[in-house]
Structure 1
Amino acid sequence: MDDPQNQDTRERVVGGYRLLRSLGRGGFGEVFLGEREDGTRAAVKLLHASWAGDEGMRRRFTAEVEQARRVSGFCVAAILDADPEAEQPWIATEFIDGPTLQASVEADGPRTGVELQRLAVSSATALAAIHAAGVVHRDLKPDNIMLAPDGPRVIDFGIARAVEATSVTASGVVGTIGYMAPEQLEGARLTEAVDVFSWAAVMVFAATGREAFPGPTQASRIARILSGGPDLEGLEGPFAEILRDCLDKDPEARPDAATLMGRLIAGPLVDGGHRNPTRGPEGNDATTVTPSPDAFTRVGVDPTRVAPPSNADAAPVDPTRAARVDPTRVAGADVPAAHAAPPRSLSQAPPPSGPPLLPERAPDTAESYRPAPHSHTPVPARGGALPPYHFAGSRFHDPGSLAEAMREDWGAAVQIFNNPAERAVLGAWIMDDLRDTTMDRALFRRDVRDANLAVASFIAQSRPDLPPTFRGRDASMEGLRALFADPRPLLTGAPLANEMALLARPELLRILDAHTGPEAGAHRRLAEDLDRAERVGTALYEELSRELEGWRSTHSTVNPALVMAFLLHPELIVQPADGGDGGVAEWIDILWRRVIAADLPDSAGYAAAVHGAMSTVQALARQRRYWEERHSQVSGTHEALEEKVLFQQRMQRAARWCKYAIVALPIGFVLKLADGGGFGEFLFGLGLLALVASLSINVTNAVMCGNAARRAQRVMELHNSRQQLPQLDSGVGRIRADLERARRITSG
């Protein structure tokens, strides 16, 4: 149940702005609608009190102010005033009277036709202006695009960074899952290309109402961004091609904002109209290129590590394979050509020309081959030679040593499994050249949705004797316990949070369980516990959303990485802080009953669910505070008005009776003159008394209840309060009923 005015009734004045109501709350601050005495309205963002004492956060808040001032005001909410040095830092920006793109799409449905093109062009123009100021936003999402009457505005530079900082040194991973580029998730250095990726993901949401990389869990969404293709179902034509280019895994392959804007305005994008989608930044037509099959699955590579091939016609190869192989050396230079294996294997096809060979790791003869422990013994090719496989500039003759090398150079291995052609080469070498029958064929014959999992599976199958690693990180049980000992990155969005999310996946843990080690089966048990805990936490959300009216519009999710931290360190299962808010504390106490009543692994899932629901709990507490305070205020006012109106009504009735009694005054006077009787004197006295009483009543009514206009206004106010009270009674009743039902749910 939403607060009808979303109002925070606490009277506050910040920088001359009276805070009228809350507009939204994030991890680092809350935004209020503020108003000056002259009527100027602004969106006033206050840094949370808990962060105000953090010097790092103060510097970040100051940077936000400086960066927002660098951007042209036509496309962002202009800064009106700010004080980053205040006890509680604040910034006042232009108030945009309109919904967010997120709220608009949820309420009115996706954009189509010219309306969609107008949104795409306007938002891309804003992005180009932001980048022209040397700023990378890094958190472009539907909630950060306001739909003003004169066009969209980009807001919230809270995690923006200057280009000159991010392109060289920044490695922090911050943003919103679902709209983050692959290099952002992997902690690589960032460029303007991350915003282009986010822009395309936002446009997919605007056009379809769903995320570009959907998934049932946070981990699955991350995996799909890193290795899967976008969901562009329902989108076609030039607009879809532009989105595909912008959602390329390789940041170097994406157009910059200026080029993007040029492509968008070059011709119709939707509802008919055709044009060449590959116009360059200077407007010259280029040949339309059909994306290669791996264009949607490649993981972005640090552009400084990849040199483009000099031969444009050469077959695509792994960019990390710096060394080229002499095309005359197929199965080994020491073996006569007549005895070389026939060219049936993809691994033996002539590679592109390039630099001379690097030193080999092993001779090309079977006699000198020594298999590593637990590796698969290859079958020699004809002539006694073993066909080599080239990886990262070196030759390998068995899967075991190759797996060890991939373990050390994980990024290059991911490139192999992300590229269908390269993966086919590796599969041919394993299955055809070495005639290995133990390796899972699915690694090479099915589409790879997550190249990281594929690499982990290849290493685990080839070298189970090696300690388990993932993306170069120790993934043994001891290593996982050390990594998940501190869950704070998961709550603050620090760079390590995304790495932890990638590790907290049951499918990965089951793969890692193939490695031999001191804790046999521990990874598999952890996977089962994680799977169960995440399910029970999600089930709690579903039950609350189904049974409680205030939870029906919530979007809380269980963070599997937090679940895993609780599973590995049960001592970390503690209630979240309530921030001194009694309403929040009551909700936490109610929900925490499930945690107390359950054992591991369920208690870990419930605990993660409670932590994940904190934003919902805080919103419900604010709503309850508003409704109860408003109910108390209106009830008190209603009682006072009712008493006052009752008094003035009594006085009016008395005055009316006195007015009637005054008639006796002239009648009594006439009778008194006529017969001088006592009855005439009685009537005369009664009329005189009524006249005096009427004058007294009118004076008292005017003094006590105001003039006639004020008394009429009071009656109208009482009427209005009578109309408000049933709605407020109902609202408060629903809130209290939700609390009671929540108690029954968590106690059952």
Structure 2
Amino acid sequence: MMLNDAADDSVLGGYRLVRSLGRGGFGEVFLGEAEDGTRAAVKVLHASWAGDADMRRRFAAEVEQARRVSGFCVAAILDADPEGERPWIATEYIDGPTLQRAVAEEGPRRGVELQRLAVNTATALAAVHAAGVVHRDLKPDNIMLAPDGPRVIDFGIARAVETTSVTASGVVGTIGYMAPEQLEGARLTSAVDVFSWGAVMVYAATGEEAFQAPTQASRIARILGGTPDLGDLTEPLRGIVHRCLDKDPERRPDASALLTLLIAGPNGVTASGPVLPGASAAPTLVAPVVDPTRAAPAPVVDPTRVAPHHGADPTRSYTRFAPSRALPAAPSPASYTGPGAPVPAPPPYTAPGAAGGSARHTGIGGVPPYHFVGIRFTDPGALAEAMQGDWGAAVRVFGDATERAALGAWLMNDLGDTVVDRALFRRHADDANLALASFIAQLRPDLPPVFRGLGATLPELAALFSDPRPVITGAPRSNEMALLARPAVLRLMGLHHGADPGAYQRLADSLDTAEHAGNAFHQELTGGLAGWRAAVPNVNPALILTFLLHPERMTPPSNGGDNGVGEWIDILWRRVDASPGPVGVGHATAIYGALATLQALARQRRYWEERYTEVSTEHETLHAKVEQQQRFFRIRRYCNHALFCLPIGLVLDLSGRAEVLGGFLVSVAVLAFCASVVLSVVLRVGYGDPVRRGQRVMELNNAAARLPELTSGVERIRADLLHARRLTGG
């Protein structure tokens, strides 16, 4: 299922592809080397995508976006050929880790280092936005820490500011660093990058995400309605980051104002948040802080009352909450055909599940209308149907505290509705889409299920989740799938009438079980294997739902031509084979989410084993040569000592008392002299001068000192593989 291209040992645009630096769903990045020695990061589109016209267009757009951005603080583009047989782009090679890896391995940034990171990344953001570009996927993995400062990389899903109006199928980004409006599918501006910057700074300072949660569904809920966890982030940066993480994009500073706030230092922050130097306590460039969880004032209503007080004027409750606006003229009696079309006066409507006519809304007799997209509604059922048909406009109603309170007042006070859950209007809506879906399902369960404008019947879900590639590659459609693949959404869709009313509940339960099993499997690996301790869990509910709806798609991922990755997949997949049902699906999804970890482990293993082999071979070679060299040196030294036999032998021979012994000693001395001369020549020719021989001994000692660490590294990696086999029953 994964795209499988073997690494090319070839030349593209004058760059020789030396080795792979990383691999994604759409392409692979190689270390390229030009003839003059210049190094570049060469991103090559996968062969399987090269024939896709849309992918070529996106790749060409990436090149164009990168060229529009000034080269400081970003990875500058060097050359590109988006129209070639294998489209490629060469950017500045940055010799350094990503922020994600640096924090995972070295810990959070502190003090001046954190301030420098904040200013430099904000500068890069200002340059990106000055070029009319919205990055839309700013995250720690897309910030490289070069020796001369951080660089922002990967404009693969960037878009120009003037074309950032996205539809339901166009949500892109990385959950955890996405702004609420990205998740909601609203029109995007450069404010989404400011939100992402704030989330990145929290990770850099604390090592944790600002909206950390055990599951993806709960992370989404926290981003949409929860408060960020800023950890021990200190002022003045804390106040600036808090402003950047505001739910309302209008209240976030733009990149230029953000940079000014960072440069202003401690004087740029007040009790109500950061302000520009010289500004009053009520800043002019950044709106005052407003509690995003505070709803508009609601009328005092008896919570036990389900109908208006006796004698209450039914025309006042809604109108006093509705925003001041001119009412449109009454529509013609043409039939309602969609958002913006006129609607006739509806027939009497009986709320689903009501007995007799006790919850009947007549739509006549003085009941005030509710206005939605310029249309007058007196029947909540017709309103629910219209809202389902114009999801974008409806979600703005439920996302705005004042509008939601006005709708609640109309339903509860004016109509005396007894069907819709009061909590939809009396509590802060963490997720406006879920609130809207609940409203529609309670009033009109007879309608087919729809979520965020997408049909959500079981056949439609099966069709939407039939292809796992968007989830695996991170294509724009993947985040929309992730928003649908939540147990809470599935359970709401199950409230609509259908052939199998329990199917959604079973699917939601299976999704819950699978996600928890996947996270537990990942924790088991990170807790038991040394190489996994910094691995970030990535159990994608959209991929889980794909496998639940299409079990035949659940096959082991491709190893990408890397045998080391393949070995890990073979080991871990045994757990999938041993765990059928939702648990096995969760384990499979955890493996797919850990592919980046597997690739890193495979690279580490190759590095350590290659270095171990290299150093151990060097050690063996040096050891043999030094040993031989030392042996010859010792023999020559003995020969030099034997030269003392010459004077002794001469004395004995001349004295006449031991002529035989004297002659023998003289012969030994002569032979020792000859041997010493020969050995000196051998040492000089075969082993170098004394300085070189001394260096060889030092090299041997250095190799011997490195071997224990390399041996430990190799043994640790092999121990991880062995332990993984035990964990998976292999």
Instruction: Tell me the TM-score range normalised by the shorter chain.
Output: 0.7 to 0.9
RMSD of Structure 2 on Structure 1 (CA): 4.1
2:328 to 348, 356, 362: 356
Shift of 1:550: 1.0
1:16 and 1:289 map into 2 onto residues whose CA distance is: 51
Mean Cα deviation higher: 524-533 or 550-559: 550-559
Question: Matched residue of 2:129: which SS?
Answer: helix
1:69–1:407 distance in 2 versus 1, CA, 3 Å: closer
Equivalence for 1:324? none
The answer to whether the Cα contact below 8 Å between 1:267 and 1:274 also exists between their aligned partners in 2 is: no
Per-residue deviation, 1:81? 5.5
Contact 2:346-2:382 at 8 Å conserved across structures: no
Higher RCO (CA < 8 A, seq sep 6+)? 2
Q: Residue 44 of structure 1 aligns to which amino acid in structure 2?
A: A
Distance 2:562 2:680 in 1: 51
Number of the residue aligned with 1:569: 550
1:136, 1:706 → 2: CA distance? 63
1:464-519 CA-partner distances (Å, limit 9, x unpaired): 11111111211111111111111111011112111111111111111221111111
Match of 1:540 in 2: 521
Equivalent residue number for residue 649 of structure 1: 630
User: Of residues 33, 38, 44 in structure 2, which corresponds to 1:47?
Assistant: 44
Larger mean Cα displacement after TM superposition, 30-39 or 721-730: 30-39
Partner in structure 2 of residue 320 of structure 1: none
Residue 684, structure 1, aligned to residue 666, structure 2: yes
Contact kept, 8 Å, 1:648 with 1:701, in 2: the verdict is yes
Residues 169 and 503 (structure 1 numbering): CA distance in 2 closer, same or farther, change over 3 Å? closer
* Residue in structure 2 matched with residue 659 of structure 1 by the alignment: 640
Q: Any conservation in 2 of the 1:593–1:747 contact (CA below 8 Å)?
A: yes
CA contact (8 A) 2:253 2:286 kept: no
SS at match of 1:747: coil
CA contact (8 A) 1:187 1:495 kept: no
Range moving further from structure 2, 347-356 or 680-689 = 347-356
- Check the 8 A contact 1:141/1:199 in 2, yes or no: yes
The one-letter code sitting in structure 1 at the alignment partner of 2:568 is: W
Counterpart pick for 2:73 among 51, 72, 75? 75
Q: 1:100 to 1:396 in 2, by over 3 A?
A: same
CA contact 1:178–1:213 (8 Å) conserved in 2: yes
Q: TM-score, normalised by structure 2?
A: 0.84
Query: Where does residue 487 of structure 1 map in the other structure?
Result: 468
Structure 1 window deviating more from structure 2 (220-229 vs 506-515): it is 220-229
State the match for 1:393 in structure 2.
374
1:222 corresponds to:
220
Once residues 170 and 442 of structure 1 are traced to their aligned partners in structure 2, the CA distance between those partners, rounded to angstroms, is: 27
1:157 pairs with one of 147, 155, 158: 155
Q: Which residue of 2 aligns with 1:624?
A: 605
Tell me, in whole angstroms, the C-alpha distance in 2 between the residues paired with 1:473 and 1:88.
34
Describe the SS at the equivalent of 1:437: coil
Q: Residues 322-360 of structure 1: CA distance to partner in whole angstroms, max 9, x if unpaired? A: xxxxxxxxxxxxxxxxx9825662456575132533417
Structure 2 residue runs of 5 or longer lacking an equivalent are 1-6, 299-310, 336-344
The counterpart of 1:371, out of the listed 344, 349, 352, is 349
Which residue of 684, 689, 694 maps to 2:676? 694
Partner of 2:308: none
- Give identity over the alignment, percent: 58
Q: Report SS of the residue matched to 2:92.
A: strand
Q: Cα 1:10–1:172, aligned 2, differ >3 Å: closer, same or farther?
A: closer
Deviation at 1:560, TM superposition (A): 0.8
Shift of 1:432: 2.5
The secondary structure found in structure 1 opposite 2:157 is coil
Measure, in 2, the Cα distance between the counterparts of 1:160 and 1:634.
45
TM superposition shift of 1:144: 2.9
Q: Is the 8 Å Cα contact of residues 24 and 473 (structure 2) preserved in structure 1?
A: no
- Tell me, yes or no, if the aligned pair for 1:135 and 1:162 is still in contact at 8 Å: yes
Q: Residues 214, 116 of structure 1: CA spacing in aligned structure 2 closer, same or farther, 3 A cutoff?
A: same
Separation in 2, partners of 1:662, 1:288: 94
Compared CA separation, residues 30 and 479, structure 1 to 2 (3 A): closer
Q: Specify the alignment match of 2:339 in structure 1.
A: none
Residue 708 (1) aligns with residue 690 (2): yes
- Please tell me the residue identity of whatever aligns with 2:563: G
Cα distance change, pair 554–12 in 1 and its aligned pair in 2 (3 A): farther
Alpha-carbon offset, residue 17 of structure 1 = 7.4
More divergent stretch after superposition (402-411 vs 87-96): 87-96
Match of 1:499 among 480, 484, 493: 480
| C-alpha displacement of 1:683 | 1.3
- Cα distance in 1 for partners of 2:167, 2:314 equals 50
Contact kept? 1:280, 1:286, Cα under 8 Å: no
Matching of residue 103 in structure 1 with residue 102 in structure 2: yes
Distance 1:46 1:710, change over 3 A: farther
Deviations 1:410-441 (A, max 9, x none): 12221222222222222222222222333222
Contact (CA 8 Å) 1:105, 1:111: kept in 2 or not?
no
Contact persistence 1:193–1:256 (CA under 8 A) = yes
Deviation per CA, 1:576-634, whole angstroms, max 9, x where unpaired? 00122211111111110111112111121111111111111111111111111221222
* TM-score between the two structures when normalised by the length of structure 1: 0.82
SS of 2:699's partner is helix
Give the Cα–Cα distance (whole angstroms) in 2 for the partners of residues 227 and 499 of structure 1. 18
Conserved in 2, the CA contact under 8 Å of 1:64 and 1:158? yes
User: 1:21-61 CA distances to partner (integer Å, 9 max, x unpaired)?
Assistant: 87665555566777779886x55244365568456656655
Q: Aligned to 2:371, what secondary structure does the other structure show? A: strand
* Whole-angstrom CA distance in 1 between matches of 2:251 and 2:334: 37
How far apart, CA to CA, are the structure 2 residues paired with 1:180 and 1:247?
10
Retained in 2: the 8 A contact 1:238–1:274?
no
Task: Please tell me the residue identity of whatever aligns with 1:91.
Answer: A
Structure 2 distance, partners of 1:644, 1:356, is 98
SS in 2 for 1:138: coil
- What pairs with 1:454-465 in structure 2 (closer than 5 Å)? 454-465=435-446
The offset of 1:278, in angstroms, is 7.7
> In structure 2, what residue type is equivalent to 1:683?
L
Displacement of 1:571 = 0.5
- CA pair 594-466 structure 1, distance change in 2 beyond 3 A: same
Distance 2:705 2:30 in 1: 29
Summarize the Cα distance change of 1:235–1:683 in structure 2 as closer, same or farther, 3 Å threshold. closer
**Structure 1 206/59 Cα, relative in aligned 2: closer, same or farther at 3 Å?**
same
- Secondary structure (helix, strand or coil) at the match of 2:496 reads coil
CA distance in 2 between counterparts of 1:423 and 1:603 reads: 42
CA contact (8 A) 1:248 1:296 kept: no
412-421 vs 169-178, which deviates more? 169-178
- TM alignment of 1:169-318, pairs within 5 A: 172-187=170-185, 190-206=188-204, 209-231=207-229, 243=241, 246-249=244-247, 251=249, 254-265=252-263, 268=266, 277=275, 286=284, 290-291=288-289, 295=292
Mapped partners of 2:419, 2:282: distance in 1: 53
When structure 1 is superposed on structure 2, of 397-406 and 550-559 the one drifting more is 397-406
- CA 648–51 in structure 1, closer or farther in 2 if over 3 Å, else same: farther
1:101-120 deviation line (CA, Å, top 9, x unaligned): 773587353556x7766554
- 2:306 corresponds in structure 1 to none
For the 8 Å contact 2:419–2:443, the answer to whether it is kept is no
SS in 1 for 2:349: coil
More moved, 217-226 vs 260-269: 260-269
CA distance, structure 2, for counterparts of residue 719 and residue 572 of structure 1: 55
Q: Tell me if structure 2 keeps the 8 A contact 1:228–1:450.
A: no
Alpha-carbon separation, structure 1, partners of 2:174 and 2:529: 27
Q: Distance in 2 between matches of 1:368 and 1:499?
A: 34
Residue ranges of structure 1 left out of the alignment (5+ in a row):
1-8, 299-314, 318-338
Is residue 741 from structure 1 mapped to residue 723 from structure 2 by the alignment? yes
CA contact (8 A) 1:371 1:398 kept: yes
Note the C-alpha offset of 1:409: 1.4
Offset from partner CA, 1:93-141 (integer Å, 9 cap, x none): 16366863773587353556x7766554443333222222233322222
- In structure 2, relative to structure 1, the CA distance for the partners of 1:278 and 1:435 (3 Å cut) is farther
Partner of 1:309: none
Aligned-pair distance for 1:404?
1.2
Q: Which residue in 2 is equivalent to 1:723? A: 705
Q: Give the counterpart letter for 1:545 in structure 2.
A: T
Aligned partner of 2:303 in structure 1 is none
The separation in 2 between residues aligned to 1:45 and 1:186, in whole angstroms, is 34
Q: Is the 8 A contact 1:557 1:613 kept in 2?
A: yes
DSSP-derived class of the 1:557 partner: coil
Q: Does structure 2 retain, via aligned residues, the 8 Å contact 1:408–1:472?
A: yes
Q: Which amino acid aligns with 1:598?
A: S
